[in-house]
Chain A
Amino acid sequence: MDPDRFTQLDDTTWQIPQQGNMRVPGILYADRQLVSDMDDKVWEQLTNVAALPGIVNAAYAMPDAHWGYGFPIGGVAAFDPDQGGVVSAGGVGFDISCGVRTLTTGLSVDALQPHRETLADFLLYRIPAGVGSTGRIRLDDIRMTAMLEGGADWAVRQGYGRREDLERIEEHGRMAGAVPEAVSDRARRRQRDEMGTLGSGNHYLEVQAVSEIYDPEAATAFGLQRDAVVVSIHCGSRGLGHQIGTEFLREMALSAQQYHITLPDRELACAPLTSPLGKRYLGAMRAGINCALANRQILTHLTREVFEHVLPEADPAADL
Chain B
Amino acid sequence: MTETALPGAGWEHFQHGADIGIRGFGTTPAEAFARAATALTAVITRPEAVRPLRWIDIDCRAPDLDFLFLDWINALVYAMATEGLLFARFEVAIEGPMLRARLGGEPVDRARHQPAVEVKGATLTALEVRQQDDGHWLAQCVVDV
Question: Once the chains bind, are B121 and A246 in contact (CB under 8 Å)?
Answer: yes
- Interface-central residue, B16, B82, B120, B127, by most chain A CB under 10 Å: B120
Contact with A131, one of B17, B71, B110, B142 (Cβ below 8 angstroms)? B110
Q: Are B125 and A267 in contact (CB under 8 A)?
A: yes
What's the least CB distance linking A188 to chain B, in Å?
Answer: 10
- Closest-by-CB residue of A relative to B118 is A200
Task: Write out the residue numbers on chain B whose beta carbons fall within 8 Å of the beta carbon of A245.
Answer: 120-121
Give residues of chain B (102-132) contacting chain A, Cβ–Cβ below 8 Å: 107-108, 110, 115-118, 120-125, 127
Q: Which of B77, B82, B124, B144 contacts A253 (CB 8 A)?
A: B124
| Contact status A132-B110, CB under 8 Å | yes
Given known contacts A94-B144, A190-B82, is B123 in contact with A201 (CB within 8 Å)? no
Given A69-B125, A246-B74, A267-B123, is A130 in contact with B115 using a C-beta cutoff of 8 Å?
yes
Q: How many A-B contacts at CB < 8 Å in the complex?
A: 82
Point out the residue from A68, A134, A189, A201 that lies within 8 Å of B117, measured CB to CB. Answer: A201
Which range contains the number of A residues in contact with the other chain?
20 to 34
- Contact of A242 with B44 in the complex, beta carbons under 8 Å: no
Tell me the nearest residue of chain A to B18, going by C-beta. A202
Given contacts A130-B115, A132-B110, A254-B63, contact A67 B17 (CB under 8 A): yes
User: Which of chain B's residues have a CB closer than 8 A to the CB of A95?
Assistant: 120, 144
Inter-subunit contact A132/B70 (CB<8 Å): no
Contact of A90 (CB < 8 Å), options: B117, B118, B122, B124 = B124
Chain A contacts for B81, CB-based, 8 A: 190, 239, 242
Using a CB-CB cutoff of 8 Å, which residues 130-145 of chain B contact chain A? Answer: 142, 144-145
Chain B residues numbered 5-52 whose CB sits less than 8 Å from any CB in chain A: 16-18, 44
A246–B70 alpha-carbon span in the complex (Å): 9
- A189 CA / B121 CA spacing, docked (Å): 15
Contacts of B17 in A (CB 8 A): 39, 66-68
Tell me how far the C-beta of A114 lies from the nearest C-beta in chain B, rounded to whole angstroms: 29
Q: Are A186 and B78 in contact, with the CB atoms below 8 A?
A: yes
Which among A39, A130, A189, A201 is the interface contact of B145 at CB below 8 angstroms? Answer: A201
The verdict on A205 contacting chain B, using a C-beta distance below 8 Å, is: no
Contact B108 A131 (CB under 8 A): yes
Which A residues are in CB contact (< 8 Å) with B121? 94, 242-243, 245-246, 249
Q: Which B residues touch A131, using CB under 8 A? A: 44, 108, 110, 115-118
Chain B residues near A (Cβ < 8 Å): 16-18, 44, 63, 67, 70-71, 74, 77-78, 81-82, 84, 107-108, 110, 115-118, 120-125, 127, 142, 144-145
Q: List 6 A-B contacts (CB under 8 A).
A: A70-B125, A200-B117, A200-B118, A201-B117, A201-B118, A250-B70
**Other A-B pairs beyond A131-B108, A201-B120, 12, CB < 8 Å:** A39-B17, A69-B125, A94-B121, A94-B144, A130-B110, A130-B118, A131-B44, A189-B82, A201-B145, A242-B121, A246-B121, A250-B71
